[in-house]
Amino acid sequence: MTETLHDELLDLDSLRKELLANLSRLASSLGWTWNGKPRITGLAKLLTSSLCERQIDYRLRHHEYEDAKFDSIYREKSQYATRLILDHLESRLLQEGISAAMATEVKGEFGNYDVTIVQGDPCLVLRGGEPKIRLEIKASLGLPLEQIDRYLWNPSPLIIVRVVTGHVVLLRPEDLEEFVGFSLRNILEKSKRMGQEKLPMVPGPHCTDCPDRGCPFNEPRRYPNPSMVKMNDQEFGTDLTSFFQHIPYVSKRTASLVVEELRRNQD
């Protein structure tokens, strides 16, 4: 590793620590907590969710959590795809001579494992208890870039699986150093502005979701928030067909990338 790259990575690590500390202080001061602990992940998500800082600040102060409504088919597809991908990954690791097990199994008396696979958001592949690779599995057409942005703040490699289109890519935060640094600085400065008396008000589509009734741009929702995806028979058939067709490829591709990355870390 060159001296310049080493310095840049150290700078990113300092930014991560400063942002984490600031989010923790902000969450604690405003009571943005869960079971006595600051909701740092939820706060980071809120800060990246809107351009309107007055809306963000209002939600923070009044503990207004966004109630995301979506068709449960997305959750079902995601859980099913994740299970199949992780099952195949566990089998592939064993074939490669890497002792591995799902996290739920590790708690039992099954012996010691080199690699632990933890299902979550994102899923984690750990070696010796340390996160080595993260897996974000998307089973719908949606691809929330603000979520991927936040995931890149963590230095470990991120594999993104988009099942319905058959895409599997590995992103290394170290290869995106300029963007990660830019993103961290933006959110750090934004978090520091929270709590000020006058914050920017940015009108837009999000005004119909805003709980701040005192804002002059606040608008009542014109239409109900749809929770059911509307598809005709042909569209539904195409969606399911592409989903099942791509499962074998994305499972195998994900497993290959994980094996390569584990070998790379071992070397």
As a whole number of angstroms, the distance between CA 50 and CA 48 comes to: 6
pLDDT of the residue at 223: 54
pLDDT of the residue at 104: 57
As a whole number of angstroms, the distance between CA 89 and CA 258 comes to: 8
Full pLDDT tens readout for the chain, 267 residues: 444 544 555 688 899 999 999 999 988 888 888 888 888 888 898 888 888 888 888 888 888 766 555 667 878 888 999 999 999 999 999 999 988 888 754 443 444 668 889 888 899 998 888 889 999 999 877 788 888 999 999 999 999 999 989 999 999 999 999 999 999 999 999 988 887 777 878 888 778 878 888 888 887 765 555 566 777 889 888 888 999 999 999 999 999 999 999 998 776
C-alpha separations of 30 from 37, 47, 60, 197, 251 in Å: 12, 14, 7, 15, 43
pLDDT of the residue at 11: 85
The residue behind tokens 């592949």 is: 125
As a whole number of angstroms, the distance between CA 43 and CA 194 comes to: 11
As a whole number of angstroms, the distance between CA 37 and CA 232 comes to: 45
For Cα atoms 74, 79, 80, give the angle at the middle one, nearest 5 degrees. 100
pLDDT of the residue at 69: 59
DSSP 125-162: EEETTEEEEEEEEE-SS---HHHHHHHTTSSS-EEEEE
The residue behind tokens 């902000």 is: 26
Residue 136's beta-bridge partner residues? Answer: 160
Contact (CB, 8 A) for 231 and 164:
no
As a whole number of angstroms, the distance between CA 109 and CA 99 comes to: 15
pTM: 0.83
Supply 3's token pair: 């001296």
User: Which residues are within 8 A (CB) of 87 and not within 5 positions of it... i.e. 6 or more apart?
Assistant: none
pLDDT of the residue at 20: 92
Categorise residue 35: left if φ over 0, alpha if ψ from -120 to 50, beta otherwise: left
Strands 130-138 and 115-118, bridge-based pairing = unpaired
User: Which residues are within 8 A (CB) of 78 and not within 5 positions of it... i.e. 6 or more apart?
Assistant: 137, 138, 139, 140
Categorise residue 195: left if φ over 0, alpha if ψ from -120 to 50, beta otherwise: left
